[in-house]
Amino acid sequence: MLKPKGFTTKIIHTPYAKEDVNHALHQPIYSNAAYDFESAEQMELAFQGRLPVHAYSRITNPTVENFELRIKQITGALNVTALSSGMAAVSNVIFLLASAGTNIIASRHLFGNTYVFLESTIREFGIETRFCDLTNQEEVKANIDSNTVAIFVETITNPQLEVVDLKSLSQTAHEQNIPLIADSTLTPPNVFNAKDFGVDIEVISSTKCISGGGTSIGGLIIDYGTFSWSKSKKLAILTKKFGPYAFNYKLRREIFRNLGACMSPFAAYLQSLGLETLQMRFEKAAINCRELARFLEEQPQVTAVNYPGKEGSTFHEISELQFGDYPGAMLTFDFATREACFTFMNNLELIRRATNVYDNKTLILHPASTIYCDFDRETREALHVYDTTLRLSLGIEDLEDLKSDLLQALNKTE
Amino acid sequence: MGSILVNGKAQEVEVPVSLIELIRNNKVEQPEMVSIQVNGEFVDRDSFETTQINANDEVDFLYFMGGGSRC
């Protein structure tokens, strides 16, 4: 068979792990829990990992595996694990690498739930997160010590839209024998090749663009096999036996299996379908974003527009280097007051008021009063989340319809 | 002939034998998905044809497949 080279061709023509008995053109949904074995001996071999068969769907499942294989095809990863959500992906990775007395390096500019997980949840397990400016390598180095087990970064932070130079950050991490974990949810694999920028473990909320635009909840852990786990105190012993598979072994055999946050077969089916059109959908949404950033900048009621692809943005150059022509499909913009933000939102007719990002529908949100409502104003402002800012996640509608909706709402906003 | 351990069980085989022959002889399922350890060290997939197995070697066929391992 001709070996596909193109992103979408690779997805669509990823072979099944096993031939389907009915030659179905889409991997069927296996919604069962358990699988039968021909003999006790076969069962023993399967549990030892010496037979390529499934035993129990919390651990592996044919439909989920097909989705994972597709992600593996387009990323060139060593191993891919699909989970029940993006936060399940983040928490599984952190619990795998960290233990009481260790620390993680991260920016405070993070998705709100990730921030609370790192700042509060894992602290109760004795794991510290050292927050610092990841764009400043000297500050990063100053925070690393012998108990640092990982650096965690978002490729574009949400909602600050900050972009870190990942090659520099990975160099800092690797010089200190630490893996770099990147959440690339806002820059899907068709625009960002994590391995090229020194990312060792990539986590993605596949709920967003990959799922087909918010069709279902899911997450991914993508292990590139680039980090030498012999340098990890926690994985050094496993590395002696499993070499580059040590991370995956620990994940599959212990953390993922025991935390139980597996992706459902139905979600995997939807996300596999979504993946097939990812490139087309995301490029359209990213173009909508670029055009609407320009459009909003021209509007007198709008006091600021933040979008890493915008000429003059602090992150324009590094965005172009890392994400090419499509530096995300999300922007933020400001009005003079919080009241103006609410008035504008309430007058939108096509654009939906919702908390997800990268749906096929364009979604708007006031971050300070919603995803950051648990923080006091001082903390929010320290996180660069302001009362005057709105977040717009672009969908795949036709540009002129979006412009019309924005314009009519702007005309009703002081 | 020589004795080797395959997945923990003794086998008498003509030695030396290449890994690729061993895969065929043992009817390893989904060989494109299998990872192989020889004496505890993983062997690069590109080296399956050239890696020779000798008497007293230990060979393990493992599946780290799909998104991840089955083990």
**Domain coordinates in residue numbering, chain A:** 7-275, 278-410
CB half-sphere exposure, A398, CA atoms < 13 A: 3
Q: Tokens 């829990």 identify what position?
A: A33
pLDDT at A50: 86
State how beta strands A352-353 and A363-365 pair.
parallel
What is the pLDDT at residue B67? 53
The complex's ipTM? 0.73
Looking at residue B12, its pLDDT comes to 95
Comparing B68 with A318, which gets the higher pLDDT?
A318
Q: How many CB pairs under 8 A join A and B?
A: 89
Euclidean distance between CA atoms A294 and A59, whole angstroms: 47
Residue A174 pLDDT: 98
d(CA A152, CA A141): 14
Convert A93-137 into a string of H (helix), E (strand) and C (coil).
HHHHHCCCCCEEEECCCCCHHHHHHHHHHHHHHCCEEEECCCCCH
What's the pLDDT at B45?
A: 81
Does residue A167 surpass a pLDDT of 50? yes
Task: State the pLDDT confidence band at A24, using cuts at 50, 70 and 90.
Answer: very high
pLDDT of residue B71: 31
Q: Give residue B64's pLDDT.
A: 72
Token digits of residue A133: 């400016």
Q: How large is the average pLDDT for residues A67-78?
A: 94
A263-272 pLDDT, tens per residue?
Answer: 999 999 999 9
Backbone angles phi, psi at A10, to 5 degrees: -60, -40
Q: What average pLDDT does the segment A134-152 reach?
A: 97
Residue of chain A nearest B71, judged by CA positions: A49
Quick check: A324 contacting B, CB < 8 Å?
no
- Please give the pLDDT value at position B33: 78
Question: Mean of the pLDDT values across residues A162-168?
Answer: 97
Supply φ then ψ for residue A340, to 5 degrees.
-65, -40
The whole-chain average pLDDT of chain A stands at 95
Three-state helix/strand/coil letters over A152-186 = EEECCCCCCCCCCCHHHHHHHHHHCCCCEEEECCC
CA A183 to CA A177: how far, in whole Å?
A: 20
Higher pLDDT, A106 or A245: A106
- Assign domain A278-410 one CATH number from 3.40.50.300, 3.40.50.1370, 3.40.50.150, 3.90.1150.10: 3.90.1150.10
Please list, residue by residue across A357-378, b when 16 or more beta carbons sit within 10 angstroms of its beta carbon and e when fewer do. Answer: bbbbbbbbbbbbeebbeebeee
- Using pLDDT thresholds of 50, 70 and 90, give the confidence band for residue B68: very low
For residue B20, give both structure tokens.
């690729």
Question: Which domains occur in chain B, in start order?
Answer: 2-63 (3.10.20.30)
With the C-alpha atoms ordered A236, A238, A240, A244, is the resulting torsion angle positive or negative? negative
- A48 chain-B contacts, CB cut-off 8 A: 7, 71
Classify A393 as helix, strand or coil: strand
The stretch A36-65 carries a mean pLDDT of 91
Residue owning tokens 């997800």: A356
Please determine, for residue A367, whether its predicted confidence score (pLDDT) is greater than 50. yes
Report, as an integer, the average pLDDT of A4-15.
Answer: 94
Does the distance separating the beta carbons of B67 and A71 come in below 8 Å? yes
Strands B17-18 and B52-53: antiparallel
Share of chain A above pLDDT 70, in %: 100
Q: What is the DSSP letter of A34?
A: B
Q: Touching check for B64 and chain A: CB below 8 Å?
A: yes
Q: Which of A41-50, A111-120, A130-139 has the lowest mean pLDDT?
A: A41-50
Contact A132, A105 (CB under 8 A): yes
Q: Tell me the C-alpha distance between B58 and B38, whole Å.
A: 6
Contact B32, B7 (CB under 8 A): no
Measured CA to CA in angstroms, residue A74 lies from A2, A77, A244 at distances of: 16, 8, 20
* A49: nearest CB among B29, B41, B69: B69
B61 vs chain A: nearest CA distance in angstroms? Answer: 6
Fold observed for domain A7-275: Aspartate Aminotransferase; domain 2 (3.40.640)
Residue B69 binned pLDDT confidence (cut-offs 50, 70, 90): very low
What was the pLDDT predicted at B70?
A: 37
Alpha-carbon distance of B1 to A219, in angstroms, equals 50
Give the helix/strand (H/E) hosting A382: helix A377-382
Residues of A in contact with B42 (CB under 8 A): 242-245
A87 confidence band (pLDDT: 50, 70, 90): very high
Element spanning B5, H or E: strand B2-6
With a cut of 90, say whether residue A244 has pLDDT above it. no
Residue A25 has pLDDT above 50, yes or no: yes
The H or E element containing residue A291 is helix A278-297
Tens of pLDDT, residue by residue over A191-200, are 999 999 999 9
Query: What's A253's DSSP letter?
Result: I
Instruction: Assign B65 a pLDDT band (cuts: 50, 70, 90).
Output: low
pLDDT digits (tens, 9 = 90+) for B18-55: 999 999 999 998 887 788 999 988 898 888 999 999 99
Q: Give the C-alpha separation, A358 to A211, whole Å.
A: 10
Q: Which residue bears the tokens 């983040």?
A: A90
Distance CA B2, CA B17 (A): 10
